[in-house]
Structure 1
Amino acid sequence: MAGALPRPARLGLADTLRVGSAGLRSRPLRVGLATLGISLGIAAMVAVLGVSSSSRADLDRRLDTLGTNLLIAAPGQTVLGERAKLPTESVQMATRIAPVYSVSATGRVNASIYRNDHIDVGNTGAIAVLAAQPGLLDTVSGGVTEGRWLNRATSTFPAVVLGARAAEKLAAHLPGTRVWLGGQWFGVVGVLGPVPLAPELDNAALVGWSAAETYLRFDAHPTTLYTRSAPSEVEAVRSVLPATVNPQSPYEVRVSRPSDALAAQRATHRTLDRLLLGLGAVALVVGGVGVANTMVISVLERRGEIGLRRALGATRGQIRLQFLMESLLLAGLGGVGGVILGVLATGGYAATQHWPVVVPLVAWLGGVVVTLPVGMIAGLYPAIRAARLTPVAALIAP
């Protein structure tokens, strides 16, 4: 329509990025220093989070060796005062508990073990004979010092693995040695090292589950059930374990109390979480102040450019958008650089301490994603201040 005022053109995304990055490209030294300041703040946050998480992972690994997530279930007594029994399928039933990732069991066998068939019957050395499942050592974090552990093959033959103290009492430290067990000869296939999580195995002779049934009249009822579960779910597993392994008589199942180390572990986690949250917030505030300072100085120095753009038809909204985009790009560059520096610092320090390198997701998000809204907030005032300048005031300003 004739006489109508022209409408200002709208800036597309590509134009906004080009205009916003132009201010950064025109002052590379200042932008580099500002980005470095932001990067150092973000790197400090990422490094603190990463080093703390790596330290926590190492602590968790050490505490796991103490059995913080190990629960032991055993039969208690019936209402008549008799010794109860766990069902033969209790191991399979325990595996149905979702947080449980390892289950194994031993069963007491009514038999005695001797160095040879000439030893007096009463001289047993108090060595317990136990039927064991192949996965027992993994569940209790045990290890073999000589020979090998029971496997699917040896579990069906008259083979025995001796605990550390049992091997000393029997003077049978070498695989291939024969011992008199349950009235017949068994071959020693391995000797265990001490098992801190299950000390009852140190003074035991362990035979395969199937072999115990075949040669020693074992009734296949477990007498000790070992479970390992996610540390955060230990109490929940403990509450459902009796009803799961013995649905008909859950009150006849005794379950060990979770380790005190687990409570200490959780208290440590809570303390570290609060510390990391505070340090991360401080780092983000420092980064935001750096962006705001850089953008305010940029507005003061570029009044002539702002006045020229306004005189050529740029609207206040376009000026605001330009400086907001500059803030976002500046914060984004600082965030990416800070994450890279923080990860490298975490990896270097963790390597010197022989820790696993763990950089939590919150550190990555805090360094890359969270810096963008921080940059936008920090650049909001400079952008508004730039948009308020009139073309005449901006052009004649010293």
Structure 2
Amino acid sequence: MWPGDVVRVGAVGLRTRPMRAFLSALGIAIGIAAMVAVVGVSSSSRADLDRALAALGTNLLTVSPGSTLTGEKAQLPLESEAMVGRIAPIRDVSAIGLLDDAKVYRTGEMPETETKGIAAYAARTDLREAIGAELRSGAWLNAATGSFPATVLGSAAADRLGIGHAGPDVQVLIGGRWFTVIGILDRAPLAPELDTAALVGWPAAQAGLGFDGHPTTIYTRSQDASVEDVRDVLGATANPEAPNEVEVSRPSDALAARKAAGEAFTGLLLGLGAVALLVGGVGVANTMVISVLERRSEIGLRRSLGATRGQVRTQFLAESLLLSALGGVGGAVIGALVTSIYALYQGWPVVIPAWAVAGGVAATLVIGAMAGLYPAVRASRLSPTEALATT
């Protein structure tokens, strides 16, 4: 038979039993939609992460104190920030210092234990430029406000304190003293510790909160080509007397780890989608077997009129492939729509890999061929007399 004839003959069974065909195709469509949506949402998320990294840069390195040989918390020297700044490829240096005893509260009536996980830090005025953070509201610390009781809150800290905007009439209690909230940071992907922080000027922290001046995290921006070389010497430069007590980390590595975790999660969901696809294939096989049993008289009549076994086998195999193709195309469209809607809702770029769509449709054809092979062979083996005897 010509290809057009094969398609027309294969479509007869679908047209005569539309509800059964729809339900069988739906099983395939669910599996393909799940696979396309998982790959699309994951790809869109990674594209948004890559876009953020491209905007913020991956050349940010951090230095923090590690542990001493006795297991106690180490301390960076007072001069560590200045010494790190003398490394030639480094172009930006800034620091924060943790204020251990300065708890942050919205009012003086809050119980001491209700800190909401907010930490207070002394911050340099050039910190925001070093970490690439943006302001959600208000202004950043400068040489003037850094000497007075003024604070800038991280995005999560502001939310937990119930503060929506900065202003001269908005105050929080830090270490028993009132500080005016002059600014609120937006989320800082490369410095997530600042999201739950209340930042005060370095001079104000030393004058009013008992800060000893030792930095707890130093942020550096280096030339892109020299990041690894700078990382190798940061520990010895920050604390020449005890370089083993210094931890050098790279926030972009944490983002890479998150990306790897997202890929592992994607693999898990793809496995679930494959199971759904397999279930859909079983549904197609079941439909085709039932179709062969119900159409024995039709098969016998066709054989009596001269149809060969190969033509009968082709007819039922074509019907199975058409059924699977309908489910595959429908599932790909549904998966693409789900990806687009979710990505736009999250503010991500919409990325639907072509290989995911093509692979999904190809997988349905393979599943359809495997599911329809046995019923097609069974139909072709029916003798005309045996098939007509069942009518």
Work out whether residues 60 and 219 of structure 2, in 8 Å CA contact, stay in contact via their aligned partners in 1: no
* 1:20 has 2:4 as partner: no
| Aligned-residue CA RMSD (Å) | 5.2
Partner of 1:374: 367
Partner of 2:28: 38
The 1:347/1:341 distance shift into structure 2, 3 A limit, reads same
Partner of 1:72: 61
Work out whether residues 54 and 359 of structure 1, in 8 Å CA contact, stay in contact via their aligned partners in 2: yes
3-state SS of 1:141 partner: coil
Partner of 2:108: none
3-state SS of 1:314 partner: coil
Q: Looking at CA atoms only, which structure, 1 or 2, has the larger radius of gyration?
A: 1
Give the drift of 1:72. 1.5
Q: Give 1:199-218 correspondences, 5 Å limit.
A: 203=201
Partners in 2 of 1:140 and 1:40 — Cα distance?
Answer: 42
Work out whether residues 288 and 374 of structure 1, in 8 Å CA contact, stay in contact via their aligned partners in 2: yes
Partner of 1:105: 92
Residue 132 of structure 2 aligns with an amino acid whose one-letter code is: V
* 1:258 has 2:236 as partner: no
3-state SS of 1:369 partner: helix
Work out whether residues 17 and 325 of structure 1, in 8 Å CA contact, stay in contact via their aligned partners in 2: yes
* 1:241 has 2:233 as partner: no
Normalising by structure 2, we get a TM-score of 0.54
* 1:316 has 2:309 as partner: yes
Partners in 2 of 1:23 and 1:304 — Cα distance?
Answer: 14
Deviation larger for 12-21 or 381-390: 12-21
Aligned residues: 284
Partner of 1:306: 299
Partners in 1 of 2:62 and 2:259 — Cα distance?
Answer: 23
Structure 2: 5+ residue stretches without partners: 64-75, 96-121, 152-181, 204-217, 239-246
Partner of 2:163: none
3-state SS of 2:60 partner: strand
Partners in 2 of 1:295 and 1:127 — Cα distance?
Answer: 71
Work out whether residues 69 and 228 of structure 1, in 8 Å CA contact, stay in contact via their aligned partners in 2: no
Partner of 2:386: 393
Give the drift of 1:282. 1.4
The 1:40/1:71 distance shift into structure 2, 3 A limit, reads same
Aligned partner of 1:384 among 377, 380, 386: 377
The 1:246/1:266 distance shift into structure 2, 3 A limit, reads closer
Q: Any idea what the Cα deviations from partners look like across 1:90-116, whole Å, max 9, x if unmatched?
A: 37xxxxxxxxxxxx73589xxxxxxxx
Work out whether residues 39 and 336 of structure 1, in 8 Å CA contact, stay in contact via their aligned partners in 2: yes
The 1:364/1:72 distance shift into structure 2, 3 A limit, reads same
3-state SS of 1:72 partner: strand
Give the drift of 1:297. 1.2
Residue 35 of structure 1 aligns with an amino acid whose one-letter code is: A
Partner of 2:212: none
Q: Any idea what the Cα deviations from partners look like across 1:111-152, whole Å, max 9, x if unmatched?
A: xxxxxxxxxxxxxxx99686x9xxx749522338557xxxxx
Aligned partner of 2:141 among 159, 163, 169: 163
Calculate percent identity across the aligned residue pairs: 42
Give the drift of 1:24. 1.9
